[in-house]
Amino acid sequence: MVYKRYSIFPSERSRGVPTQLTDMHCPITIYMDESGNGNPGQPLIVGAVVVDANSGDIEADIRQMYRELSARRSLRGHKGFEKFRKSGFHASTDPTEVSQPFIELLQRSGGFKVYLMATSQHAYRGLTEAQVISEMYETIIADNLIRYRGQAAMTVCIEENDSLRSMLRNLPRFAASRAITKLGTHVKLPEIRVEMVKKGSVMSLAITDYAMLATSRWISSNFATDPSGRAYRGFREIAPTISLLYSLEDGKLASRKSRFEEA
């Protein structure tokens, strides 16, 4: 069993959008984020975008689109557009002229896997909200430790968030322990590196953000299936990028093997 070393590296980058992570030697990178925390009226979701060495450079593709879209003069002065120019893609505030090309890029790329865990109960089975978030982070990472157990290492990239720092100290150890328990045997697992990055510095995190927002709206619509509804159409747009959407209450809601056109 290997989870002997990990590190948490707060990014010390200057303002603006740096070109890459501080260490790209790991063949597997998982970009993770959460949504709905502190908002009991919204589903609590933890999302992950998993990119391996064979996935192509989705980060470079997103950055290229960022440069192209941020040069559009027609949107200058638009509040959401100015926020986009400052810190990159953000699902809840990007204008349609930004969000639609971004979604189309994700649909074309396919060189990544999106995993989502959700619950409508912020205090689930006696756990506090923070504990539920930790459990979901650990579960997603554990599943990918198992999936990529032939690899030497993986990087877990999380947007800088002071409220998560205490969780991150134990995340590699707990996730590895959870993976070993699930496997039922001691095996060599990838070494885990956790990296915290400044908002907007790693643009692949926006994939998670878009997937979580679309999923949150779909869950809040009580899993609507009427194409005239915006929440359902929004979920159908992002659904082809999702490898697994799992609800703590309802089990698997969607996967790549699902017929998303019927989701």
Q: What CATH number corresponds to the domain at position 156?
A: 3.30.420
Residue 145's pLDDT is 96
Q: Decide if 78 is inside a domain.
A: no
Q: Higher model confidence: residue 263 or residue 148?
A: 148
Pairing, β 153-159 against β 28-35: parallel
Q: Decide if 112 is inside a domain.
A: yes
Residue 220's pLDDT is 95
Residue 26's pLDDT is 60
Residue 258's pLDDT is 67
Given pLDDT bands bounded at 50, 70 and 90, which one contains residue 21?
very low
Residue 53's pLDDT is 64
Q: Decide if 137 is inside a domain.
A: yes
Contact status, residue 171 vs residue 8, Cβ threshold 8 Å: no
Residue 11's pLDDT is 33
- Overall number of domains in the chain: 1
Q: Decide if 71 is inside a domain.
A: no
Residue 86's pLDDT is 93
3-state secondary structure of 61: helix
The strands making up 153-159's β-sheet, listed across from edge to edge, are 8-10, 191-197, 153-159, 28-35, 44-52, 113-119, 242-247, 251-255
What is the chain's length? 263
Q: Decide if 63 is inside a domain.
A: no
Span 177-182, average pLDDT: 96
Given pLDDT bands bounded at 50, 70 and 90, which one contains residue 24?
very low
Q: Decide if 183 is inside a domain.
A: yes
Q: What is the pLDDT of residues 197-231, one digit of tens each?
A: 988 889 999 999 999 999 999 999 999 999 999 99
Which pair of structure tokens corresponds to residue 73?
A: 């003069």
pLDDT at 166 over 90: no
Q: Decide if 38 is inside a domain.
A: yes
Span 94-118, average pLDDT: 93
Residue 25's pLDDT is 52
| pTM of structure | 0.85
Q: Which domain holds residue 41?
A: 23-56+105-197+205-262
Q: Decide if 115 is inside a domain.
A: yes
pLDDT at 13 over 70: no
Distance spanning both ends of the chain, measured CA to CA:
39
